[in-house]
């Protein structure tokens, strides 16, 4: 639903609990039973719906999966203005969620897309809570080298977001990213991912998040991504799984950057998945993550 009233609702799954985010704001979320505990903020189209194909493959392991809809996305409340959203709001949302659920150790963080910026910032600031991390189709810009084609793909996407603003066709964007010829799958994705945004008044969060990507070192979010990069290279001692798909147009090549930062990481190059590899290959990804988490 839309923002307003006295608080914000964040749907994670099923029933809700209320969690303080910042003065005068609250968010609602609920835990899903699953792995170790596993917390996946995927963060560009941040809906727990994106992980629906993966969660069943993880429920056989001990622990829980926490799959939030971030503020401005999914079934969570939508703040009306682009200026309402920033990097620190999203980081604080996850911190408060973990505090409320009393998750203070042995967390596996699964990051995709904005998971690199928000999720790995969280990891660098609260390292003692995490035992392992799974990094998928993401980056820590402006660090990391990619091809000219990949740069142009991202800049084209960014220009499209700026042009469309709150008229961004969310469902069509996700559907277009799928690597399947199945028209029914495309239609389902368009309807499902578009459903939380019935009109432009709901889309400020969607329109803002891509604009926060730091393209240079003076950008607002750049200090956080630099901090995360340095942390991974110099301080991170937990387990790491790097899984990038070969068909992602905007992160292809960045798996090499993460492998350089974390030489001890396990690396799996995934064939056949696009940017939202959870949609294309969710079941097999879940099997690999479960095996990684359970491998002591």
**Whether 209 is catalytic:** no
User: Where does 71-198 have alpha helices with state H?
Assistant: 87-100, 120-125, 148-164, 170-177, 183-194
C-alpha distances out from residue 54 to 39, 51, 195, 279, 292, Å: 12, 5, 21, 9, 14
Active site residue 260: no
Q: Choose, from 77, 114, 209, 280, the residue flagged as catalytic.
A: 114
Please tell me the predicted confidence (pLDDT) of residue 12.
42
Q: What is the pLDDT of residue 3?
A: 39
Q: Which of 113, 186, 209, 280 is catalytic?
A: 113
The reply to whether 113 belongs to the active site is: yes
**CA pseudo-torsion sign 244, 146, 222, 200:** negative
Question: Rounded to 5 degrees, what angle do the CA atoms 288, 290, 296 make?
Answer: 105
Q: What is the pLDDT of residue 296?
A: 65
Candidate list 86, 100, 157, 256, residue with the active-site label: 157
pLDDT at 16: 52
Position 155 scores a pLDDT of: 95
Catalytic residue among 42, 69, 275, 280: 275
Q: How many CB atoms lie within 10 A of CB 260?
A: 13
Model pLDDT, residue 211: 95
Q: How many residues does the chain have?
A: 296
Tens of pLDDT, residue by residue, the chain (296 residues): 333 344 555 444 444 555 565 444 445 444 443 333 344 433 233 467 888 898 888 876 666 888 888 888 887 888 999 999 999 999 998 898 888 888 899 999 999 998 789 999 999 999 999 999 999 999 999 999 888 999 999 999 999 999 999 999 999 999 999 988 889 999 999 999 999 999 999 999 999 999 999 999 999 999 999 999 999 999 999 999 999 999 999 999 999 999 999 999 999 999 999 999 999 999 999 999 999 988 86
Report yes or no: 130 and 109 within 8 Å, Cβ to Cβ.
yes
Which helix (DSSP H) or strand (DSSP E) does residue 112 occupy? strand 107-113
For the question of residue 275 being annotated catalytic, the response is yes
157 is catalytic: yes
Residues in Cβ contact with 99 at an 8 Å cutoff, skipping those fewer than 6 apart: 19
What is the pLDDT, as a whole number, of residue 20? Answer: 61
Which tokens is 115 given?
A: 């998971």
């Amino acid at each position: 639903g839309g923002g307003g009233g006295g608080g914000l609702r964040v749907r994670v799954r099923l029933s809700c609990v209320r969690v303080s985010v910042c003065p005068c704001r609250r968010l609602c979320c609920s835990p899903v039973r699953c792995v170790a505990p596993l917390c996946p903020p995927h963060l560009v189209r941040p809906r727990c719906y994106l992980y629906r194909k993966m969660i069943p493959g993880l429920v056989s392991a001990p622990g829980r999966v926490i799959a939030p809809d971030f503020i401005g996305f999914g079934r969570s409340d939508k703040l009306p203005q682009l200026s309402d959203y920033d990097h620190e709001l999203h980081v604080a949302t996850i911190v408060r969620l973990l505090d409320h659920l009393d998750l203070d150790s042995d967390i596996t963080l699964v990051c995709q897309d904005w998971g690199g910026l928000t999720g790995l910032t969280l990891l660098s600031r609260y390292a003692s809570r995490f035992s392992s991390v799974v990094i998928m189709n993401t980056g820590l810009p402006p660090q990391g080298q990619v091809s000219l084609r990949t740069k142009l793909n991202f800049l084209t996407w960014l220009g499209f977001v700026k042009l469309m603003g709150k008229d961004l066709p969310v469902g069509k964007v996700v559907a277009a990213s799928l690597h399947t010829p199945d028209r029914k799958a495309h239609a389902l994705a368009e309807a499902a991912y578009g459903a939380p945004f019935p009109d432009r008044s709901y889309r400020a969060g969607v329109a803002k998040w891509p604009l926060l990507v730091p393209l240079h070192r003076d950008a607002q979010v750049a200090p956080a991504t630099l901090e995360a990069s340095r942390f991974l290279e110099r301080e991170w001692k937990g387990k790491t799984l790097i899984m990038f798909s070969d068909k992602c147009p905007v992160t292809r090549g960045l798996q090499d950057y993460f492998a350089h930062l974390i030489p001890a990481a396990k690396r799996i190059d995934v064939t056949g998945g696009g940017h939202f590899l959870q949609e294309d290959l969710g079941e097999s990804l879940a099997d690999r993550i479960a095996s990684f988490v359970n491998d002591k």
